[in-house]
Structure 1
Amino acid sequence: MAGRSKGRVPVLRRIGATPGAMRARAVASPNYRDGQFRSHEPTQWVAAPEGEGLGHPAVAAYRARAQGRPRGTIPLVRPVWPEVAAGLAVTWLGHASTLVEVDGHRFLLDPVFSDRVSPSGVVGPRRLHPVPCVVADLPPLDAVVISHDHYDHLDEPTVLELERSHPPRYVVPVGVDLHLETWGVPAERITALDWREETRVGDVVLTCTEARHFSGRGFVRNQTLWAGWALRGPRHAVYFAGDSGPTHRFEEIGRDLGPFDLTILPIGAYSDHWPDIHLNPAQAIGAHVDVNRGDATTSRLLPVHWATFNLAMHWWSEPIRWARRCAEEYAVTLLTPRPGGRVTLTGGTSRADDTLDQDAWWEPCAAPEDRD
């Protein structure tokens, strides 16, 4: 089971491809300039806000680490999938890891089943809840889709488990294919795309979309591309943002590829220290509206990238509580399953496999200081 493995994996192997190999692959991309991939808008870290007195963001994160942990046990659902994939359904497996069903096809997004998101098995951010299932329990997959190469989105032990139990097709941004090949995935099962390139998996067209973020698994940054993904089948469409900061590209994605029946957007790990690289909940609600061409009344939003790992300085339950307030203001329908919860979406309605999945399950887990 990848989620609680005690095995020791060599750090260099977990890091993946060498910088030289990645650069050789990257230079052909129009989005690779002056020695690195670049977002369309500047993407940078900033110093501590004036008067905060915390110094470097890493120091601030260390001092605030207790805020990012729940005070109670996070409730889980053990997922059960039907033999045949639905027209439209989604299972949240924790953090950004999601299994989406689109017109009878299954796509596993950013799967991370390891105990830590780190090149090391003994240090680094550790899970705040167990994985809802093991990799071997996943249903047959049409493809695994990766947004970028950060450890909380691309996990070498999980890839090895997938290779043992499922050997799937992978659809990834340019350069991430080299990490997979380094870990033994045959190149013929990997499709690597640049922004706005597309591929077809069965009846579903996958389009690689722009994002405002960065990449890197070692000391070298931005030698692989980061991306979101639009998945459009004959009847349903899904948008997965991966990791992104606020960007005008959301409007363009909506204009060119939207609207979507379901969006999967990150709402956690935001900070004033890094405003360009992660959306906060209000920005995520705005992105949902943008990719749906200004009308989100018939779409559903699954908030991800919160609850599972402590990666920022906000309170553990702050992202979902803030997102719920913003969703009410803009008449956006949120899906809020517990980790492992599956929601079927048909005819403009949502049906959770477990009726408790739509309750505010996080409130009993929240610290008293983080409640209204």
Structure 2
Amino acid sequence: MSRSRVPVLAAAVGATAALVTPVTRATRGLRRSMGVTPTGIRSPQYRDGAFHNRLPSDVVASGNQGSMAVDFARKGDRGRPEGAVPLVTPDLPATAAGLAATWLGHATVLVEIAGHWVLVDPVWSDRVSPSASVGPKRNHPVPMELADLPRLSAVLISHDHYDHLDTATIDALTAQQEMVFVVPLGIGAHLRRWGVPEDRVVELDWDQAHTVRLPGLDDLTLTCTEARHFSGRGFTRNKTLWSSWAMTVGAGKKRRAVFFGGDTGYTPAFADIGAAYGPFDLTVLPIGAYDDRWSDIHLNPAEAVRTHRDVRGGVLLPVHWATFDLAFHTWSAPVEWLVEEAAEHGVRVAVPRPGERFDAGGDLPVDDWWTAPAGRWAGLPDANRKEG
């Protein structure tokens, strides 16, 4: 080979490496994060090789794929805050209170119920994706380290989408804690693939329950309840179940109850859940990533308020907004709409900053902290809101 060709070859190799290296980083751990397909499923919700909602549901309304592609190309940064999101380092008590909650961003909440600590849909990764370098990235850091969590009674998972079931977080919780993972049917296959011991995996169908018994505490009952959504971590959908959750402890005046909606569209089944398992002192409900084109599987803020009333809720904690840009509305639109809707219907809401703890029986965080970081996106019209 002539000397004149060596630099050309080196440049070509360097260019190839520059392309391959990001791809390699993006795909590292991809197969493991995607989990596995469960087998042997038996459920009234499972037929023809997949789970189904009881109420017919479209993930995206037919005929809207083209408009979504155009909107995505035009959306820019409207789903992200212009300024820094204010965070609070959680100030947790030595023992869990009767009823309190700490929102840690998106759908991740640390619930205190009658002395139990329950963590729901824990996600600590920077991106909600099978890749560590590609996919929706956080708008703000997690307010606390995983290692600083108290001793948990249970972890609840609503479904297996990446913004609710995070492989790296599951790995850390498995190593650092001893609690059980209570999950909808099929998700246990993912957990076992990731090394969670069999005796720490509890899989439930809708209306099935698991009781956590710990010394010195009243029994905690975790009931898997209906939701209207879908599942999937790869190219196939609905091989695992999705759910909401009812958490209850005690009876009579000592009863404490929390409803976690997970990720869901509106369904009349929420009224049935309220009748069967309510009333609930606290509801934790998604308000973000809504759009008319997928209204069957995501609540908008008005529907969240309706769901709260259906399940007979006391205080409403809105989640599933602020942390990841997953839709076309502006960053602050969900909370702006929610606050107005709640006031119209006399619903008590808590709107904490990420990391801010509140007691459901005390003063609730309601001050507007979101307008300043929203910047020019604050208060803009939302095409999903209809007059009248």
With normalisation by structure 2, the TM-score equals 0.86
SS at 2:329 equivalent: coil
Q: How many residues are aligned here?
A: 346
- 2:90 match: 79
Equivalents in 1 of 2:40, 2:181: separation in Å? 17
**Equivalent position amino acid for 2:304 in 1:** A
Greater shift, 324-333 or 199-208, is seen at 199-208
The Cα shift of 1:48 comes to: 5.9
Look up the equivalent residue of 1:139 and give its one-letter code.
P
AA aligned to 1:173 is P
Alignment of 1:1-372 (within 5 A): 9-17=28-36, 19=37, 22=38, 24-26=39-41, 28-44=42-58, 45-47=60-62, 55-202=66-213, 203-234=219-250, 235-292=255-312, 296=313, 299-346=314-361, 350-351=362-363, 357-371=365-379
CA offset at residue 34 of structure 1? 1.8
AA partner of residue 150 (structure 1)? H
Q: CA deviation at 1:263?
A: 0.1
Structure 1, residues 232-263: CA drift from partner, whole Å, max 9, x if none? 11121000010110111111101111110000
Paired with 1:115 and 1:8, the residues of 2 have a C-alpha distance of 16
- The answer as to whether partners of 2:26 and 2:133 remain within 8 angstroms in 1 is no
Equivalents in 1 of 2:222, 2:248: separation in Å?
A: 7
Determine the C-alpha separation between the residues in 1 that align with 2:324 and 2:377: 19
Alignment check: 8 A CA contact 1:214 1:226 kept: yes
Q: Retained in 2: the 8 A contact 1:108–1:143?
A: yes
State TM-score, norm by structure 1.
0.90
User: What is the DSSP-based 3-state SS (H/G/I as helix, E as strand, rest coil) of the residue aligned with 1:94?
Assistant: coil
SS at match of 1:66: coil
- 1:48 and 1:273 in contact (8 A); partners too: no
User: What's 1:3 paired with?
Assistant: none
CA 1:224–1:65 in structure 2 vs 1: closer, same or farther (change >3 Å)?
A: farther
SS at match of 1:286: helix
Aligned partner letter, 1:115: D
Q: Which has the larger radius of gyration?
A: 2
Cα contact 1:47–1:56 (8 A) shared by 2? no
Judged with a 3 Å threshold, the aligned counterparts in structure 2 of structure 1 residues 320 and 177 are, in CA distance, closer, same or farther, namely: same
Q: In the TM superposition, what whole-angstrom CA distance separates every residue of 1:141-177 from its partner, at most 9, and x where no partner exists?
A: 0010000000000000001111222232110000011
Give 1:345 shift. 2.1
**TM-fit CA distance, 1:61:** 2.8
User: Where in structure 2 are there 5+ consecutive unaligned residues?
Assistant: 1-24, 214-218, 381-388
CA distance in 1, matches of 2:70, 2:229: 22
- RMSD between aligned alpha carbons? 1.6
Q: Deviation at 1:266?
A: 0.1
Structure 1: unaligned runs, 5 residues or longer: 1-5
Amino acid at match of 1:29: S
Q: Distance in 2 between matches of 1:306 and 1:152?
A: 11
Percent of residue pairs bearing the same amino acid type: 51
- Aligned AA (2:54): H
Question: For the Cα contact (< 8 Å) 1:47–1:55, is it kept in 2?
Answer: no
In 2: Cα distance, 1:70 partner to 1:333 partner: 26
Deviation, structure 1 residue 47: 4.3
Secondary structure of the structure 2 residue equivalent to 1:212: coil
Superposition deviation, residue 129 in structure 1: 0.2
Deviation sequence 1:36-69 (CA, Å, 0-9, x none): 10001111111466xxxx8252442342141101
Equivalent-residue separation in structure 2 for 1:262 and 1:61 (angstroms): 35
Q: 1:62 to 1:231 in 2, by over 3 A?
A: farther
Q: Which amino acid aligns with 1:269?
A: A
The aligned amino acid for 1:336 is V
> Does the Cα contact within 8 Å between 1:267 and 1:279 map onto a contact in 2?
yes
Give yes or no for contact 2:117–2:154 (8 Å, CA) kept in 1: yes
List, as ranges, runs of 4+ consecutive aligned residues in structure 1 with deviation greater than 2 Å.
6-9, 56-63, 367-370
One-letter amino acid of the counterpart of residue 93, structure 1 = L
Cα distance in 2 between the residues matched to 1:340 and 1:265: 17
